[in-house]
Amino acid sequence: MDYSYRKTDLIQIAELQKKKKIFFISDLHLPLQFSGSANATEQEDKVLAWLDYIKPKTHALFLLGDIFDFWFEYKFLVPKGAIRLLVKLLEFHKAQIPVYFFLGNHDYWCIDYLTQACGVQLFKKPESITICNQSFLIGHGDTFNPNPYHAIFYRWYHSAFLQSLARTVPADWLYGLIHRFVLRKNPIRNNSVFEKKDRIFKYCQEQIEPFVHHDFYIFGHMHAPIIKVLNDSSYYYNIGDWVSHYTYACFDGLALSLLNF
């Protein structure tokens, strides 16, 4: 499997509309919803409030993965839950605000439903893009510099064979098994050790920046909001999560800020 990135021409932002900004958000981990359950809605309420807050001043919105705690599309089915978020993304699309979704390890199995229903553009690996004459490398970050165990896991998890095999399992069984044996056993926690062992930062610093310069590196996955200096002209941003931190990044055409909502 190729863990690198690509230079894309699918996203072109030469300049921002007057008083508009670009926003980045990651790792919402909105949960699956089961019949008869009473899932808490406070987290989604806060996300929707943030989207309402930024919408009047948004030029483009970047979702950097793990927006859902688990997502898997069948031919005629998608997971229950987060329907209000999908409606809000459709509102952005109808307002001609592009939404770019860089798939994470929890929602990598998106296919085309979000594009068809909400107008969201999907990306399966990090992308190198230019915004207002500044270079950005953007993605979720889970495939950068994995340890040997995770490298094997990613190769297996991202395979078309596994996805085809999973579709032979009834939806109730698959969603139930994932919820019981994966999501409940591995709750998302704020853990400062991520900051100390940020493999994404190390990969960008050692494997990308020495060969291809970027002004900004923006990723999620680590659940630890942080800004680090790569060199005199490059900065690394991990934008945290909406499980514990409620942080996001904002680019105004000149500067990139890491903010809290």
Q: Is residue 255 classed exposed, middle or buried when 0-12, 13-18 and 19+ CB atoms within 10 A define those classes? A: exposed
According to the model, what pLDDT value does residue 193 have?
45
The Cα–Cα gap between 143 and 151 comes to: 8
C-alpha to C-alpha distance for 207 and 198, rounded to whole angstroms: 14
- Token duo for residue 228: 């680090």
**Average pLDDT over every residue of 2-30:** 89
Calpha distance 70→3 (Å, rounded) = 21
Domains of the chain and CATH, by start = 6-260 (3.60.21.10)
- The pLDDT value recorded for residue 149 is 73
- Tell me how far CA of residue 96 lies from CA of 59, 87, 92, 116, 151, in angstroms: 9, 14, 6, 15, 38
Q: What is the rounded CA–CA span in Å between residue 118 and residue 109? A: 17
pLDDT at 5: 84
Is the pLDDT confidence value at 184 over 80?
Answer: no
For 190-230, what is each residue's pLDDT tens digit? Answer: 554 455 578 899 999 999 999 999 999 999 999 999 999 99
Mean predicted confidence (pLDDT) in 82-110: 95
pLDDT above 70 as % of the chain? 90
Task: Assign 1 a pLDDT band (cuts: 50, 70, 90).
Answer: very low
Q: Is-contact 55 17, C-beta < 8 A?
A: no
Residues ≥6 apart with Cβ < 8 Å to 96: none
Output 253 or 198, whichever has higher pLDDT: 253
Phi then psi dihedrals of residue 134, to 5 deg? -120, 145
Query: Measured between alpha carbons, how far is 68 from 26 in angstroms, rounded to an integer?
Result: 10
pLDDT score of 110: 92
Q: Which residue has the higher pLDDT, 159 or 238?
A: 238
Distance between CA atoms of 139 and 63, rounded to whole angstroms? Answer: 9
Residue 17's pLDDT band, with cuts at 50, 70 and 90, is very high
What pLDDT, on the 0 to 100 scale, is given for residue 258?
98
- Taking residues 23-29, report their average pLDDT: 97
pLDDT at 33 over 90: no
Q: Answer whether residue 160 shows pLDDT above 50.
A: yes
The least confident of 15-24, 79-88, 110-119, 177-186 is 177-186
Q: At what angle do helices 83-94 and 42-54 cross, to 10 degrees?
A: 10
- pLDDT digits over 102-139, tens only? 999 999 889 999 999 999 999 999 999 999 999 999 99
Would you say how long the chain is, in residues? 261
| Selection from 256, 248, 245, 197 nearest residue 223 by Cα | 245
What is the chain's mean pLDDT, rounded? 89
**Alpha helices per DSSP H over 107-192:** 113-118, 148-157, 160-166, 171-178
